[in-house]
Amino acid sequence: MAETRRADPASPRTANLASVLRALRAGPLSRTQLAARCGIAKSALPGLLADLAGRGLVRAAGVRAGNGRPSRLVELHGEDAYALALSIEADRLSAVVTDLGGRMVAERAEVVDVAALGLPRCMDELAHLARRVLPGTPVGVAVSVPGLVDSAAAVLRLAPALRWRDAEIAGLMAARLGLPAEAVAVDNDANLGALAEAVDGVGSELFYLSGGTAVGGGLVSGGTILRGARGFAGEVGHIAVDPSGERCSCGRTGCLQTKANLAAVLRAAAAPGDPLHDPALGVGGRVALLKQRVRLGDQRAATAVHELGVALGVALSTVVDVLDPDVVVLGGYFAELGDWLVEPIRVELAARPLGHARIVPSRLGLGAPLRGAAHLAAERLFANPTLVEEASV
Amino acid sequence: MAETRRADPASPRTANLASVLRALRAGPLSRTQLAARCGIAKSALPGLLADLAGRGLVRAAGVRAGNGRPSRLVELHGEDAYALALSIEADRLSAVVTDLGGRMVAERAEVVDVAALGLPRCMDELAHLARRVLPGTPVGVAVSVPGLVDSAAAVLRLAPALRWRDAEIAGLMAARLGLPAEAVAVDNDANLGALAEAVDGVGSELFYLSGGTAVGGGLVSGGTILRGARGFAGEVGHIAVDPSGERCSCGRTGCLQTKANLAAVLRAAAAPGDPLHDPALGVGGRVALLKQRVRLGDQRAATAVHELGVALGVALSTVVDVLDPDVVVLGGYFAELGDWLVEPIRVELAARPLGHARIVPSRLGLGAPLRGAAHLAAERLFANPTLVEEASV
């Protein structure tokens, strides 16, 4: 590829191109609106728009009638600018390709035992999956992982569910896909779930609580993931919720983690040997069975889910005090059980002096982290539109 | 004042002026450095710098020798651009004026019983204090208050220590000083303490824990106060730290608030009737006496302070998990006791899977919120340098 047309990402012109492209991410705009949103002189717009159109990233979008003259609209194009989202979970690998507007182009998933496969072979499999869905070179890649991510270094520091430590996911994936390392981002699944919910319009100061084999959390403030100093922000698994509870792996007693991980809830919901504990059902199957039991009035299952709600409510009352989100989204398997969790959580929060955040189950369900990864992958182009070459005339 | 020279704050030119002025806030820069930091073409700089110099906001700062040609430096001037910081505490009102570089120009404080005085008379007193320290019209004002602030509405929602509710501080103060309402910002004392510590260079992902008649907290991420959806973020007083502890006003048991407010610590440190409880000593006097006792080996006082440290450590372990700060600053009266608090807090955090934040006592002490308010007050000019008129030639 010719590099001559690729501008310095820090140049004022690139910053203006990026500003225009970002403004269009929420939908079509007139030139007057664009100039105002971007703080760019209207006289500079034609040149910028011609540049972006030459790269295939924007196009005319018809005319909007108004009070005065009808105004010509501009919208994102970018059907050939692909964002690649990848996800590693304990029992599955997934790949999704979207276009610049976030529309799904292709997707594929594979059931594997990631811990048994090990890091290098898992990366091989995931790259193989990616190549099968990608129609061309992606503008950016983001990988969702269930663990603590040092986002500055793009390294997965610790993922107990995968039995990985200090895994250099970005570098490994970039090498396999023939991309520069900076083209691949890595982030925690709950962070990406939070981003997806915020992009979906659920809230702008948002806390995403993720239920699975572990309990995780992600924060978005003003559209941006808050990662903290090392990238570990959002951890809520060790908030004390039950002084008389189980001993936690951290050494304390009654951490949220001990009450809210899926296995613990299933143990509370049914006796040993019950089909609810059958690993062959997979996570989705066991959660569906639990839902069915609660719906049919199984008292033990209903009590287990109610107690989960109370534990989540106690932990969330601290989270709400510290972060003051406008909304808490229940993600992962908590989303499936939302009908029975929201009420006990609300009761706990209502008793707090400050607790007035909305509590909503995720509408994106288990797919939220992958949606967030697609958004993050596209970010790279929105930050520097010159990554896509102008078409030669 | 002529308004003709006051540019539209959203105009590209104003944005560039603001960008240049902000870049200089950290110290003198060469033109090449300025152009790079601001993403502005070097050819546009002379015009922008002439404009800012005409407003008295920047000036030449000599020459720096380098490898190649020596480079001419530019620095903030703004000795006549005043930021006014005001603070309301239960027992005192304070006013500080700084110049654009944050240097103190004048200060004054007054001991009053704010709750007894009531809101309108307190605002009168504070405005009176402000007029006595102000050498001219301030570019911005910020008021520090001990309570929950709806920062968007600039309203103090609840301040139990002052017995105020829904107090429209910004409007009341602006009217008294003859300023537009938007010239006056209001914020929580712990938020402003956090901002002051971040500006002071203590950390960029920073949690500030403030001890006083209540326990408060403030968060700064990437140089900006995180306020949450309603402005209430940072509240940590109701984190459970002792299941067998006292009943809290919130209805639960063993909240941090019940263990860490100054009165509770003093009660634990000395029998009733002890001089440690003498209100005539003021907060500062009682804390100084407590310090002296611990230093002299008073076992009861030492145990009380150690137990305070353990309670803070338990609460901070949750805060560190949720926010992942690089540093936790102990502010308010906790700063005074830092020598004995840091160690038990570190022990609690060291036991956590993720807890590796630094713990430091505030070097700014009780003055931190006022320092933060001065910084916030100046923000208004840094966002729109055209608020200061160009000198007529």
CB contact under 8 A, B325 and A148: no
B23-37 pLDDT, tens per residue?
A: 999 889 999 899 988
CB contact under 8 A, A352 and B250: yes
User: Any idea which residue has 């600053």 for tokens?
Assistant: B329
Find the CB nearest B205 among A11, A229, A326. Answer: A229
Contacts of B325 in chain A (CB under 8 A): 228-229
Query: Quick check: A119 and A164 in contact, CB under 8 A?
Result: yes
Nearest residue on chain A to B254, judged by CA atoms? A243
pLDDT computed for residue A355 by the predictor: 62
Q: Which helix (H) or strand (E) holds B350?
A: helix B338-350
- How is A8-54 classified by DSSP, letter by letter? -TTSHHHHHHHHHHHHGGGS-EEHHHHHHHHT--GGGHHHHHHHHHH
CB contact under 8 A, A205 and B229: yes
Specify the pairing of strand A29-30 against strand A205-211: unpaired
Mean pLDDT of B265-274: 96
Find the CB nearest A322 among B233, B250, B357. Answer: B233
Confidence label for B355 from pLDDT (cuts 50, 70 and 90)? low
Nearest residue on chain A to B205, judged by CA atoms? A229
Of A306, A328, A305, give the one whose Cα is nearest residue A317: A328
CB contact under 8 A, A10 and B36: yes
Nearest residue on chain B to A148, judged by CA atoms? B354
pLDDT computed for residue B199 by the predictor: 92
Confidence label for B230 from pLDDT (cuts 50, 70 and 90)? confident
A279-289 pLDDT, tens per residue?
A: 888 888 999 99
CB contact under 8 A, A235 and B322: yes
Q: Which helix (H) or strand (E) holds B117?
A: helix B114-117
Nearest residue on chain B to A12, judged by CA atoms? B39
Q: Is the pLDDT assigned to residue B393 strictly greater than 70?
A: no
Confidence label for B9 from pLDDT (cuts 50, 70 and 90)? low
Confidence label for A80 from pLDDT (cuts 50, 70 and 90)? confident
Find the CB nearest B322 among A148, A236, A252. Answer: A236
pLDDT computed for residue B1 by the predictor: 36
- The runs of H, that is alpha helices, within chain A are 12-23, 31-38, 45-54, 114-117, 119-133, 169-177, 189-199, 256-260, 262-269, 282-295, 299-323, 333-336, 338-350, 368-383
A339-368 pLDDT, tens per residue?
A: 999 999 999 998 776 667 999 999 998 899
B275-303 pLDDT, tens per residue?
A: 999 988 888 899 999 999 999 999 999 99
Nearest residue on chain A to B256, judged by CA atoms? A318
Q: Is the pLDDT assigned to residue A65 strictly greater than 50?
A: yes
- How is A184-195 classified by DSSP, letter by letter? EEEEEHHHHHHH
CB contact under 8 A, A238 and B318: yes
Rounded to the nearest angstrom, the minimum Cα separation between A191 and chain B is 12
Rounded to the nearest angstrom, the minimum Cα separation between A23 and chain B is 15
Instruction: Pick the most confident of A39-43, B63-67, B354-358.
Output: A39-43
B118-170 pLDDT, tens per residue?
A: 999 999 999 999 999 999 999 999 999 999 998 888 899 999 889 999 999 99
pLDDT computed for residue A243 by the predictor: 80
Q: Is the ipTM of this complex over 0.85?
A: no
Query: What domains lie within chain A, and their CATH numbers?
Result: 12-77 (1.10.10.10), 82-194+370-383 (3.30.420.40), 201-363 (3.30.420.40)
Contacts of B357 in chain A (CB under 8 A): 229
CA A280 – CA A382 distance, rounded (Å) = 42
Confidence label for B2 from pLDDT (cuts 50, 70 and 90)? very low
CB contact under 8 A, A238 and B353: yes
Q: How far is CA B272 from CA B268, B276, B298, B300, B306, in A?
A: 10, 9, 16, 13, 20
B64-113 pLDDT, tens per residue?
A: 776 677 788 999 988 789 999 999 998 899 999 999 888 899 999 999 99
CB contact under 8 A, A321 and B236: yes
Contacts of A243 in chain B (CB under 8 A): 243
Q: Is the pLDDT assigned to residue A393 strictly greater than 70?
A: no
CB contact under 8 A, B324 and A205: no
Mutant choice from B13, B225, B354 vs A, greatest count of A C-beta within 10 A: B354
Average pLDDT, chain A: 90
Mutant choice from A20, A187, A210, A354 vs B, greatest count of B C-beta within 10 A: A354
